[in-house]
Amino acid sequence: MKLFIPLFLHLSDIIIPATVFFLVAYGLISHVKVYESFLCGAKDGLKIVVDIIPTLIGLMVAVGILRASGFFEVLGVFLSPITEKAGLPAQLLPLLVVKLFSSSAATGLVLDIFKTNGPDSYAGTLTSILMSCTETVFYTMSVYFLAAKVTKTRYTLCGALLATFTGTVASVVLANLMR
């Protein structure tokens, strides 16, 4: 048993090089041109990045405009009577809306909430849980559906928004349990 402890301690250091070595060895044994296949995959990846960049820029600009215009503050004031009763502080509404579009922009809001209330406050705890229980729905759909050339999304948006709502409710329940 004592022999395995050093192996487990360094497993994460070993696994990626071992995986790369295995793939190269398997390719060579299978008579596949490994390096040429890698270059072909890298070219395809760059093409996908070029296709996705306009969507990413559009999402980031839209979030920036909404944040700078004060729309999120107005939304928080308008919806606060409803959300406060449910245990969701109004100052977290902008976080929920921004998180639907951009996780990095939401991280900026998280830092603002932490500076204002502190990470150990109810708002800080709920913010931390919300960030892990919700998804960037529109970003994920636009980027991955564009990359995979999916045109018929059917019920994806409804399902993703329902999952985000469920994650939000679970976050409020968990944060209240931790009080």
- Predicted local distance difference test score (pLDDT) of residue 109: 85
- Predicted local distance difference test score (pLDDT) of residue 26: 94
Q: What is the pLDDT of residues 105-142, one digit of tens each?
A: 788 889 989 999 999 999 999 999 999 988 888 888 88
Q: Which phi and psi angles does 129 have, rounded to 5°?
A: -70, -40
Distances 24 to 13, 27, 45 between C-alpha atoms, Å: 18, 5, 19
- Predicted local distance difference test score (pLDDT) of residue 2: 63
* Distance of alpha carbon 75 from alpha carbon 166, whole angstroms: 21
* Distance of alpha carbon 72 from alpha carbon 99, whole angstroms: 12
Instruction: Tell me the average pLDDT of the chain.
Output: 87
- Predicted local distance difference test score (pLDDT) of residue 124: 94
pLDDT at 174 exceeding the cut of 90: yes
- Please, which pLDDT band fits residue 4 given cuts at 50, 70 and 90? low
Sign for the pseudo-dihedral over CA of 27, 33, 34, 40: negative
Q: What is the pTM of this model?
A: 0.67
* Distance of alpha carbon 123 from alpha carbon 101, whole angstroms: 21
- Please, which pLDDT band fits residue 30 given cuts at 50, 70 and 90? very high
Which of 158, 71, 88, 97 lies closest to 123 in space, CA to CA? 88
Q: Which phi and psi angles does 135 have, rounded to 5°?
A: -125, 155
Task: Give Cα 133 to chain centroid, integer Å.
Answer: 10
pLDDT at 1 exceeding the cut of 60: no
Of 6-10, 42-46, 58-62, 69-73, minimum mean pLDDT range? 6-10
pLDDT at 40 exceeding the cut of 60: yes
Give me 3's structure tokens. Answer: 């022999």
More confident position, 62 or 18: 18
* Distance of alpha carbon 134 from alpha carbon 171, whole angstroms: 9
Q: What is the pLDDT of residues 125-135, one digit of tens each?
A: 999 999 998 88
- Predicted local distance difference test score (pLDDT) of residue 48: 83
